[in-house]
Amino acid sequence: MSSSHNFSSYPPFFRPNQPQPQPQPQAVEFDSDPRPKSCSLPIIDFEALEAAHLSQVCREWGMFRLTNHGVSAELLTQLHNHANKLFSHKFEWKKGIPTTPMLYFWGNPALTMSGNAQQKGPPPADRHNWLEGFNVSLTNISHFHYQDPLLESFRCLLEEYGAHQTRLAKAIFKGMAENLDFPPPKSTSYLSPATGIIRVYRYLRCPAAERRWGIHEHTDSSVLSIIHQDQVGGLQVFKNNQWLDVEPIHDTLIVNLGDMMQAMSDDEYVSVTHRVKVNRVKERVSIGYFVFPAEDGVIHTSNYKPFTYADFQAKNELDLKTLGAKIGLPRFRK
């Protein structure tokens, strides 16, 4: 990418020559090894989904590469092309997009700390994630229509992609639920396709890539998350006390388990810790699908006090506001 890059599409905070705060050493840690090893993620063939193998991978990794998933290469290419066109528009134009069903944000994937109208206060400047994105609710997405042809085309693609993600999530969860012996009522309340959202991220070029993150290390709050990344790379997973690069392979999806799945499994399955690096010369686009339990579905296990996802979110928001960090599952341990 040339040095004549048009930075008017970037949120002002991330544009060149903006004064950037120095990160606090105690708050943000960086690796002494700039070249982590690549990991060979376990592979799950969706067309030959085998419950015992799936269970082993969920216990040992909490993340896997999904093949033969039935999402066409054409749809994935169109999604990324449309995302790149949208992100290349001026920042002010993106801010003006109606917030339903596609909410623009920047600086943090947690909407309570993002750069949009719902913001309750920005994170500390050195905790800004070097990204922007769209948070897309799949609920009733077919009922909304944009007059702008690019936005409407993107909405249609997201609707089609969301239907695929719902199909995959339901089948993968069914395999996990069978292995964990969930009774039917639990299976119904523990995964609610109606809660599904898509987040489309653009990780911005960063001149101080060795001192910033696309997303800081975290676990997802979801039941499970399904990611498609472009070919730039940057996703890392923490395994065996080291960070490993998750290399992009175009026709595969990355599935990782979230906090809700770990709690439901009574800690048998792993909510995997991961993060995203930024790049000095290239932008990166990834498309994530996240699905959650039913709002009133109570998680009952031996290791945790009974709680709902709404309880979990309320604690997270309070911790983010008061502590600047998510504590997550430890808040609910017995």
Under the banding of pLDDT at 50, 70 and 90, the label for residue 36 is: low
CB 260 within 8 A of CB 296: no
Tokens of 164: 């695929």
Share of the chain above pLDDT 90, in %: 77
* Phi, psi for residue 178 in degrees, rounded to 5: -65, -40
Tens of pLDDT, residue by residue over 171-188, are: 999 999 999 999 988 889
Q: What mean pLDDT do residues 288-292 have?
A: 97
Share the mean pLDDT of the chain: 89
Which pLDDT score is estimated for 110? Answer: 54
Which pLDDT score is estimated for 26? Answer: 40
Nearest to 290 by CA among 154, 145, 174, 192: 192
pTM equals 0.90
Domains of the chain: 35-332 (2.60.120.330)
Which pLDDT score is estimated for 125? Answer: 52
* Phi, psi for residue 42 in degrees, rounded to 5: -60, 145
Q: How far apart are CA 101 and CA 89, in angstroms?
A: 19
Which pLDDT score is estimated for 54? Answer: 97
CB 254 within 8 A of CB 213: no
Whether the pLDDT of residue 27 is over 50: the answer is no
Whether the pLDDT of residue 227 is over 70: the answer is yes
CB 256 within 8 A of CB 62: yes
Q: What mean pLDDT do residues 82-93 have?
A: 97
Nearest to 309 by CA among 326, 328, 325: 328
264 vs 10, 162, 177, 206, 300, CA distance in Å? 40, 24, 9, 38, 7
Whether the pLDDT of residue 106 is over 50: the answer is yes
293 vs 39, 196, 242, 299, 312, CA distance in Å? 30, 10, 31, 9, 11
∠ CA(221), CA(61), CA(64), 5° rounding?
85
Q: What mean pLDDT do residues 269-285 have?
A: 95
- Sign of the C-alpha dihedral computed for residues 310, 158, 63 and 282 taken in this order: negative
Q: How far apart are CA 183 and CA 331, in angstroms?
A: 26
Cis peptide before 101 (omega within 30 of 0): yes
Whether the pLDDT of residue 196 is over 50: the answer is yes
Whether the pLDDT of residue 117 is over 60: the answer is no
Whether the pLDDT of residue 221 is over 90: the answer is yes
Helix ranges (DSSP H) in 180-295: 184-190, 259-264
Q: How far apart are CA 192 and CA 196, in angstroms?
A: 8
Q: How far apart are CA 298 and CA 310, in angstroms?
A: 10
Q: How far apart are CA 144 and CA 136, in angstroms?
A: 12
Which pLDDT score is estimated for 295? Answer: 86
Region of poorest pLDDT, from 52-56, 171-175, 282-286, 322-326: 322-326
Instruction: Decide which of 41 and 6 is more confident.
Output: 41
Whether the pLDDT of residue 244 is over 80: the answer is yes
Region of poorest pLDDT, from 90-99, 106-115, 217-226: 106-115
Which pLDDT score is estimated for 320? Answer: 86
HEC secondary structure over 144-155: CCCCCHHHHHHH
Whether the pLDDT of residue 124 is over 90: the answer is no
Non-local (6+) Cβ contacts of 60 within 8 A are: 42, 270
Under the banding of pLDDT at 50, 70 and 90, the label for residue 278 is: very high
∠ CA(104), CA(108), CA(112), 5° rounding?
80
Which pLDDT score is estimated for 131? Answer: 96
Whether the pLDDT of residue 2 is over 70: the answer is no
Instruction: Decide which of 212 and 126 is more confident.
Output: 212
**Residue 107: strand, helix, or coil:** coil
Which pLDDT score is estimated for 334? Answer: 95
Which pLDDT score is estimated for 250? Answer: 85
Q: In terms of residues, how long is the chain?
A: 334
Which pLDDT score is estimated for 119? Answer: 40
Tens of pLDDT, residue by residue over 64-77, are: 999 999 999 999 99
